[in-house]
Amino acid sequence: MKTSGSISVVWLLLAASAWAQMQPPKPAPETKKLDYFAGAWTLTGSMKPGSMGPGGTITENETCEWMENNFYLVCHTNFQGSMGTGTGVSYLGYSNDEKMYTYREFNSWGEFEDSRGSVDGDKWTWTSDEKFGGMPMKGRFSMKIASPASYDFSFDVSQDGAQWTTVMDGKATKAK
């Protein structure tokens, strides 16, 4: 019995030593590209009248900062438009498994958004599966970087993934 107790203590010490030497995981290098979105932003856009509502101006104030260890950028949003006001929280990251950027948003209207994104030069494209009035649709949010402190955006929907209709467009400006 004394031998098995000694072996257990040695095993425990070896395991603790191995645990102490383990390094926490590091974010993928692609995650660093999301740094562009860190900070305070004001988005002003125009909603087109249609299946998403009556149309009109929409304004959004968003503040994004890195979560500890820099895997996810966390954004808190206040928005207002012709359909009312609300708040939201979103998480931007990069999935090594999917080799895609990820965007997940939850808002005070009970909506949930789950998009996958890619970047090509100065253009970001986020795609999602949507439902409008119970109808399945594809969503595409495009961002064109105009400067280190601004980008143009549009949100398009499609029933078939081939023909797209713009339902919102506008500009985002980063606070100084």
Res 127: pLDDT: 97
Distances (CA, A) of 127 to 20, 22, 37, 85, 104: 41, 36, 18, 25, 12
Residue 45's pLDDT is what? 96
Q: Which domains does the chain have, with CATH numbers?
A: 31-174 (2.40.128.20)
How much is the pLDDT for 17? 60
In this structure, what token pair is assigned to residue 21? Answer: 């030497």
pTM value? 0.83
Q: What pLDDT sits at residue 50?
A: 75
Q: What is the pLDDT of residue 55?
A: 84
Which of 157, 155, 175, 164 is closest to 45 using CA atoms?
155
DSSP character at residue 53: B
State the 10-residue block means of pLDDT for the chain, 176 residues long: 60 60 86 98 92 84 97 98 94 96 96 95 96 87 98 95 94 95
Q: Which residues of 90-114 are buried (b: 16+ CB within 10 A; e: fewer)?
A: bbbbbeeeeebbbbebeeeeeeebe
